[in-house]
Amino acid sequence: MKLRTMIWKELWQRPTPMLTSLAAVMLGVTALVAIQNITVFSERKIAGDMESLGANVLVLPPNVTLQDYYASDMHGHTMPEEYVTRLALARMPGVQNLAPKLCVEAEVDSAPVTLTGILPRSEFQAKTAWQGLAMLTNPVGSDRGCCTTTANLNTDSNPDSLATTRTIQELGDRELILGRDVAEKLEAKIGDKLTLLGTDFVVISVLPSTGTIDDGRLFAHLHSVQELSGAGPVVNVIEIMACCEDAAGSLITDLSSELPDTRIVTIAQIVETQVAVNGLMARLSWVFFGVLLLVGAASIASVMYSNVTERRKEIGTLMALGASRSFVTRMFLGKATLLGLTGGLGGFVVGTILAAVLGPQLLGVDVQPMPELLGIGMGAATIVAIVASLFPARRAAGLDPCLVFNEA
């Protein structure tokens, strides 16, 4: 028999009082693990979304209120298309792609639709080559010191690239690309002809579902939309795919200097709210963790004190038999350690399962176990359990062994 055998047997002999303390400690760790897990993976998803989105800077006409990034071109305000050329020729470090857009309302067989004019990358290449700027390898911007993104690498002429990179390599004057939802609504497929603004267009692609407002749109060449809608050489928005560190650095200042009559908005500002919510959640999880661990600590201390009281004679007997004060202290602190480790482990398991179940359901976030939280949870729970048991253990070790005698 060893000390740990005694601790283990005593725990199993009287498990009920300890279950409450264990539950409180476990709840604290569960709250931390579940919330942290969801927030961390939510942030990773946002980062992933940002990267796959490509565009992380918007150039908008002044006085535009940005409510939704994906609908940022639906405000009705315009600015000259010539701004696109100015940006293309400015060769700003960090600018990887430009995607000007013009949105107009149209009808297909009396069904209202949103037609978005986009400019294929081949137009920029033609322009820059014509200007003799030798930018064929980097069609837009100098790309100096810029991070590599999926958007940058994509030179595929597949129209589906529009769904992920916001740009397309080639697009004919009377060609049309459909979002997934609008294609289903119009029952249109590749090769079909659709009449828009009095002109026939051929559907060359149906985009995969993106889960955004783009799913309900039709895309045509910018110049065709300008011409047929009578809007003239204007655009509603210029989406810029810039590498993150440049977008966060001097690029915004450079853009504002180049186009003073516009509003420059970064995607970071748009996701800021979401990130702030995540941050709040993460901080809250520590608050929950702290509060529940305090409750657990109070509960453990209370249970340990009553445990010492009900075991006075037993402790006295052990001391009479030769148990030292340190042995008695270790007996109680060992029990606290076991509680802390069990509570931490249990909390980690429950919290991870909870996050794995709730993450996809509530936030659409796939959650994986985070081993580092196991260490934090078990460590913190154990420390709290030990600290809470220090005074009861000291009290036990200080008991008068004479209490084992009947008359004492």
By the rule CB under 8 A, 230 interacts with another protein: no
Sign of the torsion angle spanned by Cα atoms 373, 374, 378, 381? positive
Tell me the window of 84-92, 215-223, 288-296, 308-316 that interacts with another protein (CB under 8 A).
Answer: 308-316
Shortest distance, CB of residue 339 to another protein, whole angstroms? 17
Shortest distance, CB of residue 8 to another protein, whole angstroms? 11
Pick the closer one to another protein by CB: 349 or 403.
403
Residue at token pair 């606290």: 336
Shortest distance, CB of residue 364 to another protein, whole angstroms? 51
By the rule CB under 8 A, 10 interacts with another protein: yes
By the rule CB under 8 A, 310 interacts with another protein: no
Pick the closer one to another protein by CB: 221 or 330.
330
Pick the closer one to another protein by CB: 47 or 320.
320
By the rule CB under 8 A, 327 interacts with another protein: yes
Tell me the window of 7-15, 140-148, 274-282, 385-393 that interacts with another protein (CB under 8 A).
Answer: 7-15
**Which residue among 196, 318, 333, 367 contacts another protein (CB under 8 A)?**
318
By the rule CB under 8 A, 261 interacts with another protein: no
**Which residue among 91, 325, 345, 383 contacts another protein (CB under 8 A)?**
325
The neighbour count for residue 63, using CB atoms within 10 Å, is 8
DSSP codes of every residue in 75-94: S---EETHHHHHHHHHT-TT
Give the per-residue contact string, 12-31, with another protein (x = CB under 8 A; - = no): -xx-----------------
Shortest distance, CB of residue 310 to another protein, whole angstroms? 11
Question: How buried is 273 (Cβ within 10 angstroms: 0-12 exposed, 13-18 middle, 19+ buried)?
Answer: exposed
**Which residue among 156, 324, 357, 368 contacts another protein (CB under 8 A)?**
324
Tell me the window of 6-14, 15-23, 179-187, 247-255 that interacts with another protein (CB under 8 A).
Answer: 6-14
Pick the closer one to another protein by CB: 27 or 404.
404
Site for another protein, residues 156 to 215, rule: CB under 8 A: none
Distance between CA 171 and CA 169 in Å, rounded?
Answer: 7
Helix (H) or strand (E) holding 210: none
Pick the closer one to another protein by CB: 88 or 399.
399
Distance between CA 379 and CA 35 in Å, rounded?
Answer: 18
Find out whether 259 and 81 touch, Cβ atoms under 8 Å: no
By the rule CB under 8 A, 331 interacts with another protein: no
By the rule CB under 8 A, 319 interacts with another protein: yes
By the rule CB under 8 A, 312 interacts with another protein: no
Find out whether 178 and 114 touch, Cβ atoms under 8 Å: no
By the rule CB under 8 A, 323 interacts with another protein: yes
Nearest to 367 by CA among 105, 40, 4, 91: 40
Number of residues that bind another protein (CB under 8 A): 30
Tell me the window of 80-88, 197-205, 275-283, 315-323 that interacts with another protein (CB under 8 A).
Answer: 315-323
**Using N-to-C axis directions, what is the helix angle for 82-90 and 121-130, rounded to 10°?**
70
Find out whether 162 and 204 touch, Cβ atoms under 8 Å: no
Query: In degrees rounded to 5, what are phi and psi of residue 238?
Result: -120, 115
* Ramachandran assignment for 230, one of left (phi > 0), alpha (psi -120 to 50 degrees), beta (any other): left
Distance between CA 323 and CA 317 in Å, rounded?
Answer: 9
Shortest distance, CB of residue 319 to another protein, whole angstroms? 7
Distance between CA 64 and CA 188 in Å, rounded?
Answer: 34
**Which residue among 86, 144, 193, 313 contacts another protein (CB under 8 A)?**
313
Shortest distance, CB of residue 330 to another protein, whole angstroms? 12
Distance between CA 213 and CA 73 in Å, rounded?
Answer: 11
**Which residue among 136, 187, 321, 361 contacts another protein (CB under 8 A)?**
321
Q: What per-residue string of b and e applies to 193-220 under the rule 16 or more CB within 10 Å gives b?
A: ebebbeeebebbbbbeebebbbbbbbbb
Site for another protein, residues 366 to 405, rule: CB under 8 A: 400-402, 404-405
β-bridge mates for residue 200, sequence order: 195
Residues that bind another protein (CB under 8 A): 1-3, 5-6, 9-10, 13-14, 313-314, 316-325, 327, 400-402, 404-408
